Amino acid sequence: MRVLTYSRNVFIPVTDLCSNRCGYCSFRRDPDRARIIRRSEASRLISQGSEAGCSEALLCMGDSPWKVPGFDRIMASSGLAGISRSDFIDYLIELCEMSLAAGLLPHTNAGLLSEDEMKRIAPYNASMGLMLETTADVSAHAQSPDKNPVRRISHIAQAGKLKIPFTTGILIGIGESRADRLTSLKAISKLHKDYGHIQEVIVQPLNPKPGTSMSTSQPPMASEVEDTVRLAKKILPGGVAIQVPPNLIEPRLLVEAGADDLGGISPVTPDWINPERPWPELEGLHLKGYCLRERLPVYPRYILRGWYGNKTKRLVNALAGHDGLRCRTELKVINDGKEAS
C-alpha cells in the first residue's frame, strides 16, 4: 500500500508587502494596505497551532519587503519602528524562536536572501523553501524583479551549499509552455544532483484571482497538471517527493501519476496564498487504498543526515519517530471514506 505524506502546519503570514507585482498574485498588498504581523498576533497563531497538534510553523512573506517604499512606516504601524533589513531578519528569527518554544518546527520561505542572511536564519529552521515557479520569461513576471530565474536558481544553490533541506516547485499556467516546464524541472533536478538538498518539489496549478491581471485566465486542465507530475516523476532524482496541493486540485489522478505528498494542511489557518480555497478533510480526498502519514517539515533522510537547523535538534528528535515521520501519530488508511488505525 503506497504511503502519502502531509504536514500539519500553522500558516504565519509575516508580511504581504512585496517588491514584485506578479500577474496572478492576490497575496501582495500595496503599501497603503500592507501589514506586517505583530508579535501578539504571531504568538496567538503559534499557540493555536500548538494546541491543535501541529508540528510545523510555515513562515511566508513577500519578496524583499524592505525594498518597497513605505517599509519603515508599515513596520512602525506594527510596533516595529526603526527596523532595517538586518533587523527584519532578526524579527524572522524571533518568530522562529517563538515557534520552537511552542513545539513547532519553523519552515521559512522568505524570498531571495543573501548568503549571510540564510546563514543567520538556517539554524532556527528545520527546512526552508523558495518556489522557482518557472525558468521561462513570462509576462506575468514583467514587474517582478525577484522572479528572475537566474537569481532564484542561485538562491536555491546557495541553500544547497549550506546543506539546508529545501522545498521548491513550479507554477503551471502562467504563460509557460510544456517545454518550459520540462526545462524548469531539469533545472531543479540539476540542483539536487549538485547539492542533494531538494526534499520536495511542488507542482502547483494557477488559481486565477479577481482583481489581478490574470483574473480571466483559464487554470490549467487537470490533464496538464497530471502530465507535469509524470514529467516530474521521470526527471527528478529518486527520493525527491512530488507535492500537489489538494485544496487546488483533486489529487487522486495526480497521486496515481506519481505524486506522493499533499503538502501542509492546517487545522488552524487558511492557505493565505489561496484563502478562498479551504483545506480539504483528509477523509474526503477519495484516496481509498493509500496510507496517509504525517511528516515533519524536514524529511526523514535529512533527519538521518543531521541536515536541519542546530536550534531545532531537540524538537526534531522529540517529534520524529523511528522512521523519521512524526511519532505518536496513528497510521491512517483511507478505506471507503472512513479512516482506520
Topology of 3-20+35-340 in CATH? TIM Barrel (3.20.20)
Return d(Cα 271, Cα 65) in angstroms, integer: 20
Q: What pLDDT is stored for residue 106 in this prediction?
A: 98
Q: Where are the domains of the chain?
A: 3-20+35-340
Q: What pLDDT is stored for residue 77 in this prediction?
A: 85
Q: How many helices (H) and strands (E) does the chain have?
A: 10, 11
Residues of the chain with pLDDT under 70: 328-341
Largest distance between two CA atoms of the chain: 57
Per residue in 304-316, pLDDT (tens digit) is 999 999 999 999 9
Q: What pLDDT is stored for residue 229 in this prediction?
A: 98
Is 6 within 8 Å of 282 (Cβ atoms)? yes
Measured in degrees and rounded to the nearest 5, phi and psi for residue 60 equal -125, 155
Q: Which residue has the cell 518550459?
A: 180
Per residue in 31-51, pLDDT (tens digit) is 889 999 999 999 999 999 999
Q: How far apart are the first and last CA of the chain?
A: 14
Q: What pLDDT is stored for residue 306 in this prediction?
A: 97
Is 239 within 8 Å of 301 (Cβ atoms)? yes
Q: What pLDDT is stored for residue 170 in this prediction?
A: 98
Is 8 within 8 Å of 266 (Cβ atoms)? yes
